[in-house]
Amino acid sequence: MRSHERANAAYNAAGEVLWGFEWSLIAPATVLTLLLQQNGAGKQTIGALSAIEGGLILLPQVLSVYLFTSHRKRKRHLLLWHFFLMIPFTFLMGLLAYFSGSMSQASLRTGLILLFACFQLAMGMVVAPWLDWLAHLFRPEIRGRVLGLSWCGSALAGSAGALLAGHLMRSYSTPHIYPWLYWMAGAIQIISITAFWFIKDPAADEPDVPPIAAATLFRRFRVSLGDANFRSFLAGRSLAIAGFSITPFIAVHYTSQAGGRLAPDAVVSFAAAMTIGLALGNLVFGWLGDKAGHRAGLLIGVCMQVVALCVMLMSQG
C-alpha cells in the first residue's frame, strides 16, 4: 500500500469506527424503537421506522447525481452536508426527548419520527456519492480489504456502543437518559466526520464533469434493465434489504410476554451481537471480494441473514 493510501486508510478507519460507535448509542432498531414504544407507539409506528430507514436511504440517491457534481470539491461538499444537514437532526432528537415530559406522547412520537425521517433523507441523498468517493480513494485490488477493515472496526465499535448504551440505560433513569444518548452520539458524529477531513483526495486536481442529464440517466437505467445480471442483482438486493424490515420488531418481541419480557437495557446491550457478526462479515468478505469477487459474500450473507432472523424470532428470553 502506498504512503498516501495508508494515511487515507487510517483516517477512513478512524472516522468509520467513531461513526459505528455513536450509531449504536441511538440505534433505530433498539434505542429509538424502545423510546417510541415507551411513549405509546403501536405496531404501525414501529413498522414506519423500517419504511423510513429503508425507503429514505434508497429512493433519494438518484438526487445525489445533481447535488454533488464537482469532483474537485466533492470531499468538502460531502463533509459540509454531514455537518449542517444531517448531524443537527441528531441533536434535535435529543432536545425533543429532553422536553418529553412537557408534551403529549403523540406529539413526542410524531416529532421523533419526523426528525428521524429528515436525518435518513439527508443520509439517502449523500450515501451514493459518499461510497463513490471512498471507492475513488483506493485502487480496486486493495479496496475491499481497506473498506472491509474499516467497516469491521466500525461494527466492533458499534458493539461497544450498544453495551455502553445498555449500561447507561440500566444505571440511570430510563426516560432521562435518552437525550444524553442522542447528544453524545451527535458530538461523536462531529468528531467522526472531522476525521475524514484529513483524507487526501486524488480527485482534488481533476477537472469537473458536468452532471448527467435526467433523460440520459433514465435511458441508461432502461438499458440496464435489459441485462439479466442487473435484474437478478436488483431483485436479490431488494429482497435482502426487505428482510431487515422486521428488525425493530425484534426489540418489541423480546420486551413482550412472548419474548420473555427482557428489560429495555438488556435488549440494547444484546444488540452488540448484531454488530459483532457484521464486523466478522466485513473482515472476511472484504478480503474474499478482492480475491474472488463480491457475489460469494452476498450469497453467504443473505443465507446467514435468513438463519439469524429465524433464530431470533423463534426464541425467547
- Give the model's pLDDT for residue 136: 87
The C-alpha atoms of residue 24 and residue 275 are separated, in whole angstroms, by 9
- Give the model's pLDDT for residue 246: 85
The domain spans of the chain are: 3-200+213-313
pLDDT per residue as tens digits for the range 237-295:
788 778 778 889 989 989 999 889 999 999 999 999 888 888 888 778 877 887 888 78
For the chain, where are the alpha helices, taking DSSP H only? 3-25, 33-37, 43-58, 64-67, 74-85, 87-98, 105-137, 140-171, 174-196, 214-225, 228-243, 247-255, 264-270, 272-292, 295-313
The C-alpha atoms of residue 69 and residue 67 are separated, in whole angstroms, by 6
- Give the model's pLDDT for residue 93: 98
- Give the model's pLDDT for residue 295: 82
pLDDT per residue as tens digits for the range 47-65:
999 899 888 888 888 888 7
Q: Would you say domain 3-200+213-313 falls under CATH 3.20.170.30?
A: no
The model carries a pTM of: 0.91
- Give the model's pLDDT for residue 75: 93
Q: In the chain, which stretches have pLDDT less than 70?
A: 1
